């Protein structure tokens, strides 16, 4: 093992002799990410976790298993996050893919960039309590320190270390370095890979994925950037990546490599995002390829989530995300809100704070089985009511088995990346709950603007009304309703559905 002390160059990077950088600081003067880019960034991080949790029950299974289990979307109830699989995951629980991404992400936040020693310590702490750890990664992490660990695992697996274990965890890195330059991100992606995966191809796969995620966060056409990124890869690895990331490549060729490899995993994820325009379509197409379903869907989910933003991810999947990173008393629990806050911290933002609630308003019935409320009023309803939330709830509805957390921002200007999808998601959920015979309450923090937006959209679709007819109806039914947000009025005035 190499115990030579690192040196530091003028950029702040520290390198051991002949190795990858062991410290890569975050950009000191990053570009500003606007509200839309931030929603794409959150979409990347949460999208990876959703793909991971959705694919976990089908891991190591045959192609087509997801569609066989769910021939149609399950919009009502608790959706398709069923849990189970070979490691008996809880419903909505993410796996080692997201757990390692969180460990890497928390290290980046704590160290203001990539720090090999800190990442290694967090990976080892995670491994002690992990339900599942890939065999190659497990072998590397069994070493007491990172120098030489990846090479030891490489030898133990007879030179086959081009696996997908460092690709699957790279999303948070892409989020952290998104506002900086691409070259630094690529260096960091390869460096984190080298801790556990000796084959350079593993690092290049992680780097390509990270660069594609960053491009999408910045609003670019990531898939169009693939040829240029391939030119950065050293031979002989460039040839296989070029072949498998070509638009003509198909995962249905029986001669292709396993999706447990970095080539197969990245190629299948890119194929799914190319083949499907929606987040749901991309991740379910990835899962239906079978094999290492959670990891392929995690990578596809990151790419698709960065493209569609968090508002393009179905709320029935976001709502039930959950998992633990760590061991024993030191473990940390992550849900939808905590994952969003980590994504924000990776981008240098603060977590969303809890705000003071007003005197409870509602629930007030506005249609048979359908009620309006503010956050405080909604928190008083029985546990068998279905909840549709458009604000942070801070755990108030954890006792409600059926609920949705829809991402909508009540701000003027370009504050929502895809409000149409978010509103459609909320309205579809209301209709599904009512069809199941459930009593439904719709709320946001104050019960005014976002609650009004969703209830008006529901009334327009249900009754064939225009926006002003829905406005007049809700004004009579719900005293808290306000329509001060002109962008919401404009959305509903343009045949929103």
Q: What is the pLDDT of residues 277-335, one digit of tens each?
A: 999 999 999 999 999 999 999 999 999 999 999 999 999 999 999 999 975 556 699 99
Q: How confident is the model at residue 10 (pLDDT cuts 50, 70, 90)?
A: very low
Name the strand (E) or helix (H) holding 154: helix 149-156
| Spatial distance between the Cα atoms of 115 and 21, rounded to a whole number of angstroms | 9
Q: Is the pLDDT of residue 4 over 80?
A: no
Q: pTM for the whole thing?
A: 0.95
CB 92 within 8 A of CB 81: yes
Residue 32 pLDDT: 87
DSSP-derived letter for residue 309 is -
Q: How confident is the model at residue 17 (pLDDT cuts 50, 70, 90)?
A: very low
Residue 235 pLDDT: 86
Q: Is the pLDDT of residue 273 over 80?
A: yes
Kindly tell me the burial class for residue 341, based on how many C-beta atoms sit within 10 Å of its own C-beta (0-12, 13-18, 19 or more).
middle
Residue 226 pLDDT: 98
CA neighbor of 234 nearest in space, from 189, 198, 197, 203 = 203
Q: Mean pLDDT over all residues of the chain?
A: 94
Residue 254 pLDDT: 73
DSSP-derived letter for residue 163 is B
Q: What is the pLDDT of residues 350-395, one digit of tens each?
A: 988 888 888 999 999 999 999 999 999 999 999 999 999 999 999 9
Q: Is the pLDDT of residue 181 over 90?
A: yes
Q: Is the pLDDT of residue 490 over 50?
A: yes
Q: What is the pLDDT of residues 49-100, one digit of tens each?
A: 999 999 999 999 999 999 999 999 999 999 999 999 999 999 999 999 999 9
CB 292 within 8 A of CB 260: yes
The residue assigned the tokens 């030891």 is 152
Residue 185 pLDDT: 98
Q: What is the pLDDT of residues 212-245, one digit of tens each?
A: 999 999 999 999 999 999 999 988 899 999 999 9
Task: Retrieve residue 470's tokens.
Answer: 């829905």
Residue 330 pLDDT: 64
The neighbour count for residue 462, using CB atoms within 10 Å, is: 15
Domains of the chain: 21-345 (1.10.4080.10), 362-494 (3.90.190.10)
């Amino acid at each position: 093992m190499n115990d030579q002390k690192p040196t530091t160059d003028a950029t702040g990077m520290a390198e051991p002799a002949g190795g990858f950088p062991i410290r890569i600081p975050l950009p000191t003067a990053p570009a500003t990410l606007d509200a839309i880019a931030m929603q794409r960034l959150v979409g990347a991080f949460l999208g990876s976790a959703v793909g991971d949790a959705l694919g976990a029950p089908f891991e190591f299974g045959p192609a087509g298993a997801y569609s066989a289990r769910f021939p149609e979307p399950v919009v009502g109830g608790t959706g398709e996050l069923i849990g189970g699989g070979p490691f008996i995951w809880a419903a909505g629980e993410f796996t080692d893919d997201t757990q390692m991404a969180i460990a890497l992400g928390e290290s980046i936040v704590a160290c203001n960039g990539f720090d090999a020693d800190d990442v290694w310590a967090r990976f080892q702490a995670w491994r002690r309590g992990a339900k599942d750890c890939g065999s190659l990664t497990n072998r590397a992490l069994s070493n007491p320190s990172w120098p030489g660990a990846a090479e030891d695992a490489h030898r133990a697996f007879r030179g086959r270390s081009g696996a997908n274990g460092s690709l699957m965890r790279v999303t948070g890195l892409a989020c952290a370095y998104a506002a900086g330059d691409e070259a630094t991100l690529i260096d960091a992606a390869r460096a984190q890979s080298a801790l556990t995966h000796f084959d350079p191809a593993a690092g290049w796969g992680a780097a390509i994925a990270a660069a594609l995620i960053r491009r999408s966060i910045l609003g670019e056409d990531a898939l169009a950037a693939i040829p240029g990124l391939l030119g950065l890869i050293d031979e002989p690895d460039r040839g296989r990546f070029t072949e498998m990331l070509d638009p003509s490549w198909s995962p249905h060729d029986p001669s292709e490599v396993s999706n447990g490899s970095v080539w197969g995993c990245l190629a299948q994820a890119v194929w799914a995002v190319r083949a499907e325009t929606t987040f749901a379509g991309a991740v379910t197409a990835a899962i239906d390829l079978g094999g290492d379903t959670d990891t392929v869907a995690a990578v596809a989910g990151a790419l698709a989530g960065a493209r569609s933003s968090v508002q393009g991810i179905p709320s029935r999947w976001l709502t039930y995300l959950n998992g633990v990173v760590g061991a024993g008393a030191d473990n940390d629990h992550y849900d939808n809100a905590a994952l969003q806050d980590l994504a924000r911290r990776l981008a240098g933002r603060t977590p969303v704070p809890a705000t003071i609630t007003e005197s409870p308003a509602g629930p007030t019935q506005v249609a048979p089985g359908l009620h309006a409320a503010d956050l405080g009023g909604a928190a008083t309803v029985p546990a068998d009511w279905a909840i549709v939330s458009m604000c942070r709830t801070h755990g108030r509805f954890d006792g409600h088995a059926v609920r949705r957390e829809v991402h909508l921002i009540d701000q003027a200007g370009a504050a929502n990346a895809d409000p149409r999808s978010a509103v459609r998601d909320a309205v579809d959920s209301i209709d599904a709950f009512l069809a199941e015979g459930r009593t439904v309450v719709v709320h946001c923090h104050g019960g005014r603007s976002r609650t009004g937006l969703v209830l008006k959209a529901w009334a327009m679709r249900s009754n064939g009304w225009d926006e002003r007819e829905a406005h007049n109806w809700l004004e009579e039914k719900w005293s808290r309703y306000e329509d001060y947000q002109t962008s919401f009025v404009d959305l509903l005035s343009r045949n929103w559905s």
